């Protein structure tokens, strides 16, 4: 599958609207293949700039700052990943996704837990991470009917591809949950 990495400017959300839901709507407008098609693209937003990886160019060319064919690296490369790391725990008779660092108060302990999560993802997805910088944010996403808390953890550092086939699949499919909210895009540049 051929991939296009696009960088676009997006308008600020209307007053009173949720910025994460607004970015989701903009991404769907710009990259969706149609109303009934599955979402086959990943994106993230930093400020008013959206970076997206998709099998096609965005529809609105006026917002595009750049678009270029993207080939995942095959060796060592700097990376950025904003994702929703979760673990599944059985609670009150149901499986629930939760923050793996839930209840850990100190930042160093949380970073250690998130690093272990990333290392497990690397083993599953064909990469190994060296030094990494970790930060986390808590978002609230409102879609008009409900408010959902979202954990967003940012990883940046250098990774080494150990299995190109599994790594390429991870680049296309993303890592972790919350992809509709701009999480999961593994950027190597």
Give domain limits for the chain: 3-70, 76-188
Per residue in 91-130, pLDDT tens?
A: 677 777 767 777 777 788 888 999 999 999 999 999 999 9
Bridge-partner residues for 98, per DSSP?
87
Q: Matching CATH topology for 3-70 and 76-188?
A: yes
Please give the C-alpha separations between residue 108 and each of 34, 42, 101, in angstroms, as whole numbers: 44, 30, 11
Residues with Cβ within 8 Å of residue 85, at least 6 apart in sequence: 99, 100, 114, 117, 118, 121, 151, 153, 176
Average pLDDT, the chain: 88
Please give the C-alpha separations between residue 41 and each of 17, 66, 168, 174, 183, in angstroms, as whole numbers: 23, 16, 14, 9, 11
Please give the C-alpha separations between residue 103 and each of 31, 100, 116, in angstroms, as whole numbers: 38, 9, 16
Band of pLDDT at residue 29, cut at 50, 70 and 90: confident
Bridge-partner residues for 91, per DSSP?
94
Whether pLDDT at 73 is above 80: yes
3-70 folds as Alpha-Beta Plaits (3.30.70)
Instruction: Give the number of other CB atoms < 10 A from CB of residue 18.
Output: 19
76-188 folds as Alpha-Beta Plaits (3.30.70)
Whether pLDDT at 70 is above 80: yes
The CA-based dihedral angle spanning residues 7, 11, 17, 22, taken in that order and rounded to the nearest 10 degrees: -30
Band of pLDDT at residue 61, cut at 50, 70 and 90: low
Bridge-partner residues for 67, per DSSP?
6
* pTM listed for this prediction: 0.87
Per residue in 5-27, pLDDT tens?
A: 999 998 888 888 888 888 998 89
Whether pLDDT at 85 is above 80: yes
């Amino acid at each position: 599958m051929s991939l296009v990495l696009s960088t676009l400017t997006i308008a600020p959300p209307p007053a009173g609207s949720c910025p994460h839901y607004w970015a989701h709507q903009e991404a769907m407008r710009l990259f969706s293949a149609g109303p009934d098609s599955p979402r086959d693209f990943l994106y993230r937003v930093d400020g008013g700039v959206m970076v997206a990886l998709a099998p096609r160019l965005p529809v609105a060319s006026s917002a595009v700052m750049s678009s270029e064919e993207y080939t995942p690296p095959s060796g060592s490369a700097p990376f950025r990943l904003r994702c929703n790391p979760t673990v599944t725990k059985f609670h009150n008779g149901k499986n629930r996704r939760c923050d793996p660092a839930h209840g850990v108060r100190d930042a160093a302990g949380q970073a250690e837990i998130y690093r272990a999560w990333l290392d497990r993802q690397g083993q599953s997805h064909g990469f190994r991470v060296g030094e990494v910088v970790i930060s986390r944010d808590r978002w609230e996403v409102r879609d008009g009917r409900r408010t959902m808390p979202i954990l967003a953890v940012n990883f940046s550092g250098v990774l080494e591809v150990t299995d190109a086939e599994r790594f390429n699949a991870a680049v296309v499919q993303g890592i972790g949950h919350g992809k509709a909210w701009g999480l999961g895009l593994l950027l190597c540049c």
